[in-house]
Copies of this chain bind each other. A is one copy, B any other.
């Protein structure tokens, strides 16, 4: 199975070489990411692809993740800090157009979304949106691996600083997870030779018959 082979091939790269990922490849990874499963189809997150070297140096400052600046591209996944009635309205309008139906045909769906999402706190909806963004991040990893493009998923960054440097707050977004893309430095990255260690399948997964 290709997905298994791609996942076995990938690892969290510590040291990238200086080769750049092409725009065509980047666009394929982003297209796959945009097709990720998303609860209710709402896609409550966005992706930022940081190429600017100065900005990436600033983002990397004080972090032990040198991959932030020393990779081909940095992807930042950012989730909406709240879900508003306006966002649901726009989503339904866009969905109706995409499905070629009048908005009224989606009235029940809209009511369910409004009552389900707007009854929760902003923090609950942000956490939900962040989880959706993680699905997308996982898709991006798999898509990159299919193209034999390496990646490093990274948490533990200073999200306040990222939000401020990338202008996310003004867009109602908060950075939740990042990913460096590029090509492994197979000579100088000691992690390239390590076994990928995963749980025995029968400890990871339990059948209830």
CB within 8 A of A208: which of B30, B48, B201, B208? B48
- Residues on the B chain within 8 Å of A116, using CB: 156
Task: Determine which residue in A46, A94, A199 has the highest number of CB atoms from chain B within 10 A of its CB, and name it.
Answer: A199
Number of copies of this kind of chain in the complex: 2
User: Is B49 touching A208 in the complex (CB atoms < 8 A)?
Assistant: yes
- Contacts A27-B201, A30-B204, A34-B204 known; A3 to B142 CB distance under 8 Å? yes
User: Is B37 touching A10 in the complex (CB atoms < 8 A)?
Assistant: yes
Task: Determine which residue in A32, A99, A116 has the highest number of CB atoms from chain B within 10 A of its CB, and name it.
Answer: A32
A34 to B195, CA, bound (A): 15
Task: Determine which residue in A41, A138, A177 has the highest number of CB atoms from chain B within 10 A of its CB, and name it.
Answer: A138
Q: Which B residue sits closest to A128, measured CB to CB?
A: B155
- Residues on the B chain within 8 Å of A139, using CB: 3, 7, 138, 142
Q: Which B residue sits closest to A116, measured CB to CB?
A: B156
- List A residues 162-205 near B (Cβ within 8 Å): 166, 177, 194-199, 201, 204-205
Query: Is A72 located at the chain interface by the 8 A CB criterion?
Result: no
User: Is A204 touching B37 in the complex (CB atoms < 8 A)?
Assistant: no
Query: Is A36 located at the chain interface by the 8 A CB criterion?
Result: yes
CB proximity of A102 to chain B, nearest CB, Å: 15
- Residues on the B chain within 8 Å of A4, using CB: 28, 31-32, 35, 143
- Residues on the B chain within 8 Å of A209, using CB: 51-52
Query: Is A114 located at the chain interface by the 8 A CB criterion?
Result: no
User: Is B135 touching A197 in the complex (CB atoms < 8 A)?
Assistant: no
User: Is B1 touching A98 in the complex (CB atoms < 8 A)?
Assistant: no
- Residues on the B chain within 8 Å of A50, using CB: 208
A141 to B35, CA, bound (A): 12
Residues of A within 8 A of B (CB): 1-4, 7-8, 10, 12, 27-28, 30-37, 39, 41, 43, 46-52, 55, 94-95, 98-100, 116, 127-128, 130-132, 134-139, 141-143, 146-147, 153, 155-156, 166, 177, 194-199, 201, 204-209
